[in-house]
Amino acid sequence: MFLIPSQRGEKRMRKLVLLVFFFVSITYAFNISVYADDVPDSKEQPGVVASEDKSITEVDATNEEDTEEIDIEMEAVFVKDPIQPFNRAMFTFNDKVYYWLFRPLSKGYAAVLPEPARLGVRNFFTNIRMPGRFFNCIFQGKFKGAGTEMLRLVINSTLGVGGFSDPAKKYFKLDIQDEDFGQTLGRYNVGSGAFIEIPLFGPSNVRDGIGLLGDMVLDPIAWLTFVSPYASTGANTYNTLNDVSIDKGDTYENLVEGAIDPYIMVQDAYMQNRTKKIKE
């Protein structure tokens, strides 16, 4: 009578141990292959040539060569933009929304709420949006990144008092994994497609637009729509306002005000930034 349940328990235990072992070994095997991809190709160190006795003209000549090499590396990438008139109109619209609505609002908001509180709000929203980053890490085979996100959620939700502070970064050196569905698609070689300026959102392209829709499924803020459509829209707007108030809008204003063609500037900066994020 006494033995039977414990035997059962033991059997169960053994099964569980086996399962865990199986799981661990699988992730480990995956991890190995993931790490193998991460190892950069060992670059050959260029040999050192004695260059001291080169005459000035020769130095000049090599400089010219370098210039050419640098020139090629900066070759502008062709951005598909078949609906440019629409995009430019939307860009102007978004720009006005920013300057006439978000900018004055964020100034008022910043005057009311001190910066540490606003940083806390940003941390809260970042923490709550963990599912999107977590699953996109998994979709891209970045299991270590997914683990980091899981740990961050646990640490920040508890020690970080509901996500308002970020002890995971501060004390555990766990960096946020900036992944989204657009990047996942890019990882699987989906091309960016045409450039689109989305009203009230900003620069994007066909791939990242689809990515945005995909991410909504994983976004707890978007789930608020089931409660009330105003709830999610309100939360999103508030989040944007909060972000703008921390940044003081400097990033956008500087980008645009320094440019002779702000639309092209933003488009190019967006494309470059996305390319980098996909590579990472």
Partner 1 sequence: MKRIFCLLLFTFLLSQVAVAGVELEAEESLKTSVDKVITTLSDKELTMDQKKSKVIEITKTVFGFPLMAKLSLGKEHWSQFNPEQREEFTNLFIKLFQDFYVDKLDLFNDERIVFQPPVLENEKKVQIPTVLLSKGKEYSMLYKMSKTKNGWRIYDIEIEGVSLIHTYRSQYNHILESGEIEDLLTKMREKKIENEGS
| Closest distance of CB 208 from partner 1, Å | 15
In this structure, the number of other CB atoms found within 10 A of the CB of residue 54 comes to 13
58 touches partner 1 by CB under 8 A: no
Residue 266 CA to residue 192 CA, distance in Å, equals 16
Contacts of 153 (CB under 8 A, 6+ apart): 127, 130, 134
Q: Which of 117, 199, 112 is nearest to 164 (CA)?
A: 117
Span interacting with partner 1, options 152-160, 183-191, 192-200, 264-272, rule CB under 8 A: 264-272
Residues of this chain, 176-235, that bind partner 1 according to CB under 8 A:
none
CB of 119 vs partner 1, minimal distance in Å: 6
* Binding of partner 1 by 39 (CB under 8 A): no
Ranges within 130-159 binding partner 1 (CB under 8 A): none
H or E stretch covering 196: strand 195-198
Q: Contact, 213 vs 180, CB < 8 A?
A: no
DSSP string spanning 257-269? HT-SSHHHHHHHH
**Judged by CB under 8 A, does residue 38 bind partner 1?**
no
What track of x and - describes contact with partner 1 for positions 80 through 119 (by CB under 8 A)? -----------------------------------x---x
Contact 104, 219 (CB under 8 A): no
C-beta neighbour count of 70 within 10 angstroms? 9
Judged by CB under 8 A, the residue of 41, 75, 85, 226 near partner 1 is 75
- Residue closer to partner 1 (CB basis): 37 or 115: 115
Are residues 276 and 183 in contact, defined by beta-carbon separation less than 8 angstroms?
A: no
Q: Which is nearer to partner 1, 2 or 276 (CB)?
A: 276
Residues that bind partner 1 (CB under 8 A): 45-49, 51, 56, 59-60, 62-63, 66-71, 74-76, 79, 115, 119, 123, 166, 169, 175, 246, 248, 250, 254, 257-261, 264-265, 267-269, 272-273, 275-277
